[in-house]
Structure 1
């Protein structure tokens, strides 16, 4: 914006200077020419009395020679009898016109010729002539033009500097407001713009931006409290379900349902902690829960969990996972979030494909760091009539439409991507690229790798997801 304002000031100043300096330059050239011509005419007029009263040609020749000895421009006297005194001059039509009693000036290749008619001379009408060279007609014009050009450049420079100083007073507050908006977009709800800087309109924008930031913080706080309250309300039905599970006569059934309730209760507790997490707490604060995990351990655990249901529904599972001794594959995603991603894509296979449909799970390390998780099936594939299935709330199969949106957001949060395509067998293929962790996150992951799985694997058959 500063550059555009400077260019605008330079353009306007240049137009004004051109409108003023060009006529002034032409006027200077005209004045210089008139000054040279007036000087030459005065010189010629000083000879008119001598020519008009001359009684002897020799005396008049001597007078002309004395004038030419000191004159700036050579003078010629053409007498009525054809005698030419001084520098030779051709008898042009202009000379003949002057001889008939008309003084004039005409343009010639060397400059401008001045002809003064003298009537009443003893030898008849005479003509006094001289030529003013072009150099004398433009003497001093170039210097004045250079001075005017320099003055114009200086005025343009001054105008640009003044416009730039004025632009700083406007651009600075605008840049600060833009910087604050970017900080708000990154989640820094403490960012505020200085409402006392800049013109009144920009101050109004800064005030509105600060009000918007405060409003966003209030809405987020209300949303977190609502989510936390809703999660807390789930504790009552969880307690009732736990009592029902403890009253079962079959110990294996009681253990299986109790294990499911433990996992559900941990998920509810995690939801409450996430909802009431302080806005100012940094996710990268040393000592906090690790923001990375071993993707191999997490995916292996989730595949083991879903394999039980695959056996129940006659599905064959093709696995391509790192071995237990291949080392960890660290990704920039918490273990709970990656588990939710794996559950979402594997749960879709069971929810949207018929029983007996085979599927494959592949996990590999990316050359640039991180991991790539690919889940493909031989089912009917993704429906093209329901729009983008990764859009939140969009579902063509009667579900909530949140699963793939959760996967997409988790992949983006790790610095990766989510891609949907058609599998070689004709079904759906979901490719999830997960980014690598930062240095201190990777150290925390290595130190806490033994904490996963968060719950023991259940040999019992899980309930079919809905």
Structure 2
């Protein structure tokens, strides 16, 4: 922006200066020519006074003195054809002046000033003063150079002033951009200092108001989730009491385990919402994945599914909380059980990106969680989207995993497993 403003000011200043300095330069040349002609005319008239009143020798000396004093060659053409003073050829302009008409005419290399003197012995005499091109342009080139330097200096001053004014606008604008970036990364304490022109200050105040409003909305959301949690705990307590009243101890224990898992999930959601910063959360991925696979292995055994667990030697710290990683594993394994037939095997592999085979680009230096199965795969068409699934589900499982991966600095990739089923690669950033 500063360069654009400087270029704009330079262009406008140059146009103004050209419109002013070009006529001024022409005027300087015209004045210089006029002064040279006036000086030559005065020299010619001073000699013309002596024509007819002195003898020829005195007239010659007068012409030579006029030439020396004026710096221009002075020639006197007498009616009889005699020439006194500086040597010069008789031109057509001299013949025209000999008819009694004073004039100025162009000549090779300059200009000649002719003054007719009537009443001289033998007829009309002509006094000629020659002005060379240098005489006509004396001082003009120096003045033009001074005008050029003045124009360049004015353009430079204009650019400097424009740059200072642009800085007064650009700096507050950059500060607003930095504050907006901080807000986008989750720093809701970022506030702008209103500086610069009134419009920029107004934008800063509006950004501060927006940041405050966002903070208020998030606080309201956290409180709303807390209220919902209390409402959920009441039916959970009722389920727990109903489970304890069952006559079958094994069935009661199984239902109580489910209720405990549901209560932990509700608590994790509440803590997740109340947590001020997701970026600070981290965990060791190895025990979390091992625990969740062990949990699902019980159901896999009931459905005659072969489970292969391949864990890299830990620890593998990832920039994801243990609750979020567990939710991702549950979502991915839940999809396997929901969308593959009984007996379809699956495999869970946890390794670093440097060791993960067949991965997409960008996995180096990260942790890769791969869940593959021997089911029908994703099928033709685009991958499932949030809230839209062709298999009768909500389509939220993969979106939860994708969001967690992106928040950790990674990504989620879908593909085909070696048996022809679905393969999900969850790339997680290192803590």
C-alpha distance in 2, partners of 1:108/1:382? 98
CA positional deviation for 1:92: 2.9
Within the candidate set 425, 436, 439, 2:430 is matched to 436
**Shift in Å, 1:125:** 3.0
Is structure 2 residue 350 aligned with structure 1 residue 363?
yes
Corresponding residue of 2:33: 33
- Give, in angstroms, the shift of residue 411 of structure 1: 0.7
After superposition, the Cα gap between the structure-2 partners of 1:52 and 1:379, relative to the gap in structure 1 and judged at 3 Å, is farther
Spell out, residue by residue over 1:374-405, the C-alpha distance to the aligned partner (whole angstroms, 9 max, x if none).
223344433665x6635x43333332232122
8 Å Cα contact 1:306-1:346 kept in structure 2: yes
Match status 1:372 vs 2:368: yes
Query: 1:39-83 CA deviation, whole Å, 9 max, x = no partner?
Result: 1111111111223445x4444334333433444011122223322
Q: Which residue of 1 aligns with 2:206?
A: 208
Q: Distance in 1 between matches of 2:409 and 2:279?
A: 15
SS in 2 for 1:263: helix
2:49 alignment partner, SS class: helix
How large is the Cα RMSD of the aligned pairs?
Answer: 2.8
Which runs of 5 or more residues in structure 1 are unaligned?
285-290, 438-466
CA-CA distance at 1:17 after TM superposition: 2.1
- The yes-or-no answer on 1:389 pairing with 2:387 is no
Matched residue SS, 2:25: helix
Task: Name the CA shift for 1:103/1:350 in 2 (closer, same or farther; >3 Å).
Answer: farther
| SS in structure 2 at match of 1:51 | coil
Shift of 1:417: 1.3
- Aligned partners of 2:163, 2:47: CA distance in 1, in Å? 63
Deviation at 1:16, TM superposition (A): 2.0
Aligned ranges for residues 152-231 of structure 1 at < 5 Å? 152-195=151-194, 197-231=195-229
Structure 2: how far apart are the matches of 1:116 and 1:424?
A: 113
Structure 2 portions without partners, runs of 5+? 355-363
Where does residue 336 of structure 1 map in the other structure?
A: 323
**1:81 matched to 2:71:** no
Does the 8 Å CA contact 2:43/2:129 hold for their aligned counterparts?
A: no
Partner of 1:292: 282
Against the structure 1 CA distance between its residues 383 and 109, is the aligned structure 2 distance closer, same or farther, given a 3 Å change threshold?
A: farther
- TM-score in terms of structure 2 length: 0.87
352-361 or 232-241, which deviates more: 352-361
The 1:106–1:379 alpha-carbon spacing in structure 2 relative to 1, beyond 3 Å, is farther
Q: Is the 8 A contact 2:75 2:85 kept in 1?
A: yes
| Shift, 1:249, TM fit | 3.9
Deviating more after overlay: 99-108 vs 398-407 = 99-108
| C-alpha distance in structure 1 between counterparts of 2:348 and 2:400, whole Å | 19
Deviation at 1:20? 1.6
User: Are 1:270 and 2:268 matched, yes or no?
Assistant: yes
Distance in 2 separating the partners of 1:394 and 1:204: 42
Matched residues in 1 for 2:83 and 2:329: separation? 117
Match status 1:401 vs 2:395: yes
SS of 1:80 mapped into structure 2: coil
Residues 128 and 294 of structure 1, relative CA distance in 2, 3 Å threshold: same
Question: Could you tell me how far 1:410 is from its partner in structure 2?
Answer: 0.8
CA 1:331 to 1:119, structure 2 compared with 1: closer, same or farther past 3 Å?
Answer: same
Q: Which residue of 2 aligns with 1:10?
A: 10
| Contact 2:279–2:408 (8 Å) recurs in 1 | no
